Amino acid sequence: MFWSPDCVENIVMGINGQFPGPNIRARAGDTVHVELTNKLYTEGVVIHWHGIRQFGSPWADGTASISQCAINPGETFIYQFKVERAGTYFYHGHYGMQRSAGLYGSLIVNLPEGEREPFHYDREFSLLLSDWWHQSAHEQEVALASNPIRWINEPQSVLINGRGQHNCSLAARFSSSSKAVAQCHFRGDEQCAPKILSVLPNKTYRIRLACTTALSSLNFAIGGHKMVVVEADGNYVQPFATDDLDIYSGETYSVLVTTDQDPTLNYWVSVGVRGRRPNTPPALTILNYRTTAAIELPKSPPPVTPQWNDYARSVALSKKVLSRMGTPKPPAKYDRRIILLNSQNKVDGFTKWAVNNVSLTLPSTPYLGSIRYGLMKAFDQRSPPDDYPADYNINEPPSNPNATIRNTVYRFDFNTTIDVILQNANALSVNLSEMHPWHLHGHDFWVLGYGEGKFTDKDAKGFNLKNPPLRNTAVVFPYGWTALRFVADNPGVWSFHCHIEPHIHMGMAVVFAEGVELVRNVPAEALTCGLTAKMFLNEDSKAWHG
Amino acid sequence: MFWSPDCVENIVMGINGQFPGPNIRARAGDTVHVELTNKLYTEGVVIHWHGIRQFGSPWADGTASISQCAINPGETFIYQFKVERAGTYFYHGHYGMQRSAGLYGSLIVNLPEGEREPFHYDREFSLLLSDWWHQSAHEQEVALASNPIRWINEPQSVLINGRGQHNCSLAARFSSSSKAVAQCHFRGDEQCAPKILSVLPNKTYRIRLACTTALSSLNFAIGGHKMVVVEADGNYVQPFATDDLDIYSGETYSVLVTTDQDPTLNYWVSVGVRGRRPNTPPALTILNYRTTAAIELPKSPPPVTPQWNDYARSVALSKKVLSRMGTPKPPAKYDRRIILLNSQNKVDGFTKWAVNNVSLTLPSTPYLGSIRYGLMKAFDQRSPPDDYPADYNINEPPSNPNATIRNTVYRFDFNTTIDVILQNANALSVNLSEMHPWHLHGHDFWVLGYGEGKFTDKDAKGFNLKNPPLRNTAVVFPYGWTALRFVADNPGVWSFHCHIEPHIHMGMAVVFAEGVELVRNVPAEALTCGLTAKMFLNEDSKAWHG
């Protein structure tokens, strides 16, 4: 539908006539029932419930070609799953680049009735953060898959709850840009008018942050106010205070903000870009003490986003995220360790991202069906590599940039403990290594550590096994490594991928499978495509030839 | 893929890296075997073989929701069908607005070996005519379905074999435009460089014309040369000479051109827009006598396209198309007559086109499957009306503009003779009635007559039963009627629709079904969606719950 997310009209993928999609709120222990009807004209669609474990319902994970067939235009698919744990989540498209097209919304799970959070707050806000391009997601898909690649460049805008300002700035008067920036003027009912955070003095607010950006790493700050981080990816963390917070695509946080500042002033809420040479102005809105007119802009400039490439600062912030007492601890030992080299490559001249030299292209039959029913022809049955060559130089562009396109699967023995070491490297250009926020479906993992350079066995000695944060998304920093541990205890097939959508489109993903033989009662609707469909048709060929 | 159809880069839907898709050439009696692999990221796809009867292979007609399920990304569907009759055909997408997106190509069927055409020619050219917008087809789909409607306006360019010139004109020096028009300069290898028709003097050339425009009615002319029309929609016609030829979306023609003019000169080939207030420059290329340098432009201006709204001229031209001796004659009488009022309407504020007040929206289960297997819930089982209210005033906007959205089907007794009277009317705006070229799948029809005003029984007395042309596409002119007759002798489900793609998108189509109980051996792949898929799954539910 036509929409003006950043005051420039464009087409967004909406839900029920809304952009972003409706907020979904449930209570821990609830079964969520979503009927998704595809009203697109020619495109299939799926929705992934980001951060929800889907234990016992792997077909409801909403990953096209992995957990289900895309839902055809005109058809309805029912997502039914249990939300086990209170926390801040979100949902989004997981097919092509439909997340970039705007298919996302907020999913909040409250505590069960009678239970209380381990921290106090009076009220809450929920901010869904995203980035937005004026070039359509369809065109981006073609551009990225062109030879030579046409890179999509930085987004035009950052959005807070689907709202940004491209043609004007709320903070125009503080702009040091040589280009004159116009002051925004809103009646208030514009689709791009910022939603003001209206607060009372001397209260504590929980601000839920969810980052569903296609590309950008963000930094969140509120002028004049400290925040205390209390939740990450649906898990409580050891509270820590900070002036600003990096948030990567796929991550969620809750921060507590106490309104203890001068209530006669307004304050900027700023969401700036980090990790890439910034070319997008920060998203802004206002924290308004209700005693003050909301239309009055803050008198001082918005918080300055930290230097985009100050990665030491980013690493230090990530290391502050530790699990709160009472969080389950990781097993002391792993059963299998896989090391995943993140590299940018070429395949027949096309630019790709790869993991251990394999660039993933998904098959047309969902793995959940093909593995469950033993359809060997549905995908490449070889095992993808558990490591990369010892002599690989991570500090330079790959000496042989060629990668392979495959659709192989890592199969884990059920209930074993898996260590994944994400190993970053130099991209195709010299002196360039990018951040990649990796997101795991179906599980949380413990983040055992971050390190610089090439991971070696010795690094494992420094792993944090005491209070590592339990998360579903973790960044691997430029030229560094990140160590994760999880238990393969959720029967199903699960995507593990860089959450940057253009990178997924270019192959930066792997597939994990465990205990698939234990999966029962896959709804037929989830597998009505490719070889799974064919299998069932062949078994009943008589009817077809009646 | 990125492409520059009219020298402005855009995204087109290509086939095998080509735009338009590859030329397909077969011989009458051949079985054509096409393996179509969908390499789109999230969109389904089908291809319709326009003008091919598909007798015995109704599932190969390539109409999404009618003859088959759309082919999912990554999957391959095999179209296999017999081409019975030599002639000029084409193929194109028949899902959403994928024809507008550029999904089309040429399909020529030669005579069986040893047989000869009933006219002489030395060589031939094949020209596929289309129109092109800089706005993407995806955006057009959303625009047309917005409330209020955002009309897509006239195309930026007319294309000959996928080539047009937007930023410059071949005939710049003759331009009377107040805007200075730049002269085109080509090296020759540009995607938008015109393909020159290179001829020898004193030969006869067969020029095959196929019109796959999304919106535009066209007029074809060659400076200084008369042409003789010999074929229309794959049927021979009584040859007639003309200076120019109207050609509507969905039509094909063959014309013979004798190169009897001064061979030291070049001549314009011009394709201009008619029937709508013209806002698109004509497509141009050059007829080059090989004795002359091809780069020399003609010294006189291109043929002038006849006045856009001189409908009397258009009707006169259409009436010249009569069947050649030996063409099968229509049955003397009809068994059932349906009168189809063409009207523009509103449904809940949305602008629609309707037929007898029903605006068609296709179901998610293909009719061929749902009718064949008696799945009553797949679509509205009521019969759509065979007529419209007697007091309807076709000369004014509808007094009650509200139409109904339905997916009903006209069911014909097998082997009966059906008369269809297309009745045009005023659109929603006063003093506006548009031309609609109606195309029938699975059959040719005889065009028994064209008339002005409201069709009455008396008009039937003037029907041409002697030598009416046999065609698959016929126009209903503004405020007029067009009478068609065909025999419902092809078991299957067939679309009958205005060939203007935005009009189809807005509901201007009906569905015909006949002898579906006789259909055998529908390939399972054609019906793996919606309720047909469900039916087969239910019949083998054990496997699903293994």
Q: Is the dihedral of CA A236, A240, A241, A247 positive or negative?
A: negative
Measured between CA atoms, how close is B170 to chain A, in angstroms? 30
Q: Of B48, B71, B42, B34, which is closest to residue B501 (Cα–Cα)?
A: B48
Using alpha carbons only, give the angle A77, A82, A83 rounded to the nearest 5 degrees. Answer: 115
Measured between CA atoms, how close is A299 to chain B, in angstroms? 42
**Is A543 close to B536, i.e. CB distance below 8 A?**
yes
pLDDT at B370: 97
pLDDT at A541: 47
Question: Which CATH architecture fits A336-532?
Answer: Sandwich (2.60)
**Is B524 close to A544, i.e. CB distance below 8 A?**
yes
pLDDT at A543: 45
Kindly report, residue by residue over A249-275, the tens digit of the pLDDT.
Answer: 999 999 999 999 999 999 999 999 999
Q: Is the dihedral of CA B285, B289, B290, B294 positive or negative?
A: negative
Residue A69's closest chain B neighbor by CA? B72
Token couple for B95:
């899902």
pLDDT at A178: 61
Question: Once rounded to an integer, what is the mean pLDDT over residues A481-508?
Answer: 98
Question: Once rounded to an integer, what is the mean pLDDT over residues A460-473?
Answer: 98
d(CA B42, CA A291): 50
Confidence of residue A542 (pLDDT cuts 50, 70, 90): very low
Share of chain A above pLDDT 90, in %: 93
Residue with tokens 């629709």: B497
Measured between CA atoms, how close is B32 to chain A, in angstroms? 22
d(CA A350, CA A359): 11
Using alpha carbons only, give the angle B336, B338, B343 rounded to the nearest 5 degrees. Answer: 175
Which residues from chain B sit within 8 angstroms of residue A141, using beta carbons? 41
Measured between CA atoms, how close is A11 to chain B, in angstroms? 7
On whether the CB atoms of residues A316 and A369 are closer than 8 A, the answer is no
Q: Is A266 helix (H, G, I), strand (E, B) or coil?
A: strand
Phi, then psi, of B434 in degrees rounded to 5: -100, 160
Kindly report, residue by residue over A289-333, the tens digit of the pLDDT.
Answer: 998 887 789 999 999 999 999 999 999 999 999 999 999 999 999
Residue B11's closest chain A neighbor by CA? A139
Residues of chain B with pLDDT under 50: 541-546
d(CA B243, CA A525): 58
pLDDT at B545: 44
Token couple for A146:
């062109």
Q: Is B402 helix (H, G, I), strand (E, B) or coil?
A: strand
pLDDT at B326: 95
pLDDT at B293: 84
d(CA B64, CA A341): 43
d(CA A97, CA B227): 50
Q: Are strands B410-412 and B509-514 parallel, antiparallel or unpaired?
A: parallel
pLDDT at B541: 47
Domain A119-320 belongs to what topology?
A: Immunoglobulin-like (2.60.40)
On whether the CB atoms of residues A257 and A289 are closer than 8 A, the answer is no
On whether the CB atoms of residues B166 and B157 are closer than 8 A, the answer is yes
Which residues from chain A sit within 8 angstroms of residue B136, using beta carbons? 136, 138-139
pLDDT at B180: 67
Question: Once rounded to an integer, what is the mean pLDDT over residues A125-143?
Answer: 98
Using CB atoms, pick whichever of B141, B536, B546 lies closest to residue A540. Answer: B536
Which residues from chain A sit within 8 angstroms of residue B530, using beta carbons? 72, 74-75
CATH class of B114-320: mainly beta
The H-or-E segment that residue B501 falls in is helix B501-505
Q: What ipTM does the predicted assembly reach?
A: 0.95
**Fold match, B114-320 / B336-532:** yes
Using CB atoms, pick whichever of A96, A143, A530 lies closest to residue B41. Answer: A96
Contacts with A30 (C-beta within 8 Å, 6 or more apart), sequence order: A82, A83, A109
Which residues from chain B sit within 8 angstroms of residue A74, using beta carbons? 65, 362-364, 530
Reply yes or no on whether the pLDDT at A171 is more than 50. yes
Measured between CA atoms, how close is A276 to chain B, in angstroms? 27
Delimit the domains of chain A by residue range.
Answer: 119-320, 336-532
Residue B17's closest chain A neighbor by CA? A146
Which residues from chain B sit within 8 angstroms of residue A535, using beta carbons? 543
Token couple for B481:
């009627």
Mean confidence (pLDDT) of chain A = 96
On whether the CB atoms of residues A200 and A289 are closer than 8 A, the answer is yes
Give the bridge partners for B481, in sequence order. Answer: B423, B451
pLDDT at A544: 43
Give yes or no for a cis peptide into B298 (omega within 30° of 0): no
